[in-house]
Amino acid sequence: MIFTWLLFSLIFIQDETPFKAKGEFEVKLNYTFKKRPMPEANTFRFDSPTSDHEKENASNMLPYLILDVKILSASPTEARVKVIDNMNKKIFSKKIHDDFMFSIDMGFTDDVKDYVTAHEYIVYLLDEKNLKQSKIVIFVKEDGAFLVNDEVRGKL
């Protein structure tokens, strides 16, 4: 019984990395407009436009989101930044310093809201031994609410 309780408690206490303090970083939304790339000639997409009117509208510019993240002040124990998405894809890992800035290409906003592409990014700040010191969690809900460290920062 005690072994089961210890095992259960270890499973739920795995990632207790604290959030980075709000005043030590910035996350800015950088909207642009892009055309969605045309599908390859030899593929069939079920959601592809079929009528001429739908094909004309498909060529319109769509909102595209890039996040600009700036680490205003890194603590003495924070030496690296590692970014992963909710699909466990490593975006990048680099050494950091004060006023370190990087971008996260989220993609088309409709795809992010529909969870077709990644909708959550975790920015881990690591020490020299790659141990997690703090984190920044960026999350987009299905309704378009944009959250940073569980705090609503706007809507897509």
Mind giving me the DSSP string for 117-145? S--EEEEEEE-TT--EEEEEEEEE-TT-E
**Predicted local confidence at residue 53, as pLDDT:** 45
Q: What are the tokens at 92? A: 């990048």
Give the burial class of 9: count Cβ atoms within 10 A of its Cβ; 0-12 exposed, 13-18 middle, 19 or more buried. Answer: exposed
Rounded Cα–Cα distance for residues 9 and 113 (Å): 33
Ranges of the chain whose pLDDT falls below 50: 6-7, 10, 53
Whole-structure pTM over 0.85, yes or no?
Answer: no
3-state SS, residue 156: coil
Closest CA to 137 of 25, 30, 31, 32: 25
Instruction: Return the bridge partners of 154, or none.
Output: 146
Confidence at residue 48, expressed as pLDDT on a 0 to 100 scale: 57
Nearest to 121 by CA among 134, 101, 105: 105
Residue-wise pLDDT tens digits, 92-117: 999 998 889 999 999 999 999 999 99
